[in-house]
């Protein structure tokens, strides 16, 4: 009788492990997709480079939706890599807290980027100073 109880105990402990292995194998067979990293544009910072405003300035977008960039600044060189992140909503008011000036290098022109609070970096030419006015 003692052997029978031992066999039942071993079987009850081994049964969940035996059933769990096929389930985990079928779950691992699902296909996964990987995002390909988009290449950014590396630009050299000009003089003064990055300007931080003590008080946020108000700008607005007009009819078009400007492209928003994510910027990665080099710690050991005066460079930054800008990667497309999305777009801003047209006919909206935005707060700008920083300005980044870049110089012309190779095939890229000199640009000024504004940091739109909570969004990312936008070409300065895409924003207009002041708040957006709604047409009545």
In a domain, 4, yes or no: no
In a domain, 27, yes or no: no
> What is the span of the domain harbouring residue 122?
41-129
What pLDDT band is residue 31 in, cutting at 50, 70 and 90?
Answer: low
In a domain, 79, yes or no: yes
Angle at 19 between CA 18 and CA 25, to 5 degrees: 100
Please report, for the domain that includes residue 118, its CATH number: 2.30.30
In a domain, 107, yes or no: yes
In a domain, 13, yes or no: no
Which of 120, 36, 49, 48 has its CA nearest to residue 82? 120
**Average pLDDT of the chain to the nearest whole number:** 84
In a domain, 94, yes or no: yes
In a domain, 110, yes or no: yes
SS3 15: helix
Q: Which two tokens stand for residue 51?
A: 């300007």
Task: Please tell me the predicted confidence (pLDDT) of residue 3.
Answer: 82
What pLDDT band is residue 37 in, cutting at 50, 70 and 90?
Answer: low
In a domain, 136, yes or no: no
What pLDDT band is residue 61 in, cutting at 50, 70 and 90?
Answer: very high
pTM above 0.85, yes or no: no
pLDDT over 90 at 19, yes or no: no
Number of domains in the chain: 1
């Amino acid at each position: 009788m003692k052997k029978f109880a031992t066999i039942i105990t071993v079987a009850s402990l081994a049964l969940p492990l035996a059933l769990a292995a096929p389930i985990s194998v079928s779950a691992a067979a699902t296909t996964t997709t990987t995002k390909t990293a988009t290449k950014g544009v590396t630009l050299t910072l000009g003089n003064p480079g990055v300007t931080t405003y003590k008080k946020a300035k108000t700008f607005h977008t007009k009819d078009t939706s400007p492209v928003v960039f994510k910027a990665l600044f080099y710690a050991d060189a005066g460079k930054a890599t800008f990667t497309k992140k999305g777009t801003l909503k047209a006919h909206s008011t935005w707060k700008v807290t920083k300005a980044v000036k870049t110089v012309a290098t190779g095939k890229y022109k000199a640009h000024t980027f504004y940091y739109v609070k909570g969004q990312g970096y936008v070409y300065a030419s895409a924003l207009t100073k002041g708040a957006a006015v709604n047409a009545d």
